Amino acid sequence: MVPLLREDPEFAQHYLHQAFIDMDEEGGQEAFLMALRHVVEARGGMAQVAEKAGISRETLYRTLSPKGNPTLKTLRSVVAATGFQFSHIATIA
């Protein structure tokens, strides 16, 4: 999945969007965090995205773990660090 997300930024945005709209389903939050982790890996890796987001690499790993419970501020920072706007992943058609 990561190579495809790396090669096609538009697909990566749609991938995040679909995971976002499925978040209310059972297991949806965990699936969204996994999708975001895939995009992070495709868009520069954990260390680079963490630096851009202004958080430590360890915090990013914890945030994107299956048990992660990130704040909205952290999610917005991480999504922005991948090159996307949080509002766009919630609203693209």
Q: Give per-residue pLDDT as tens, 24-77.
A: 999 999 999 999 999 999 999 999 999 999 999 999 999 999 888 999 999 999
Which among 71, 72, 68 is positioned nearest to 35, based on CA atoms? 68
| Domain ranges across the chain | 2-91
In the prediction, which pLDDT does 93 show?
A: 56
What does the angle CA 68 – CA 28 – CA 58 come to, to the nearest 5 degrees? 20
2-91 has which CATH code?
Answer: 1.10.260
The pair of three-digit structure tokens given for residue 59, joined into one six-digit string? 């915090």
In the prediction, which pLDDT does 30 show?
A: 94
Which among 88, 32, 33, 89 is positioned nearest to 60, based on CA atoms? 33
Which among 79, 68, 67, 87 is positioned nearest to 36, based on CA atoms? 79
**Reported pTM:** 0.92
- Quick check: 57 and 46 in contact, CB under 8 A? yes
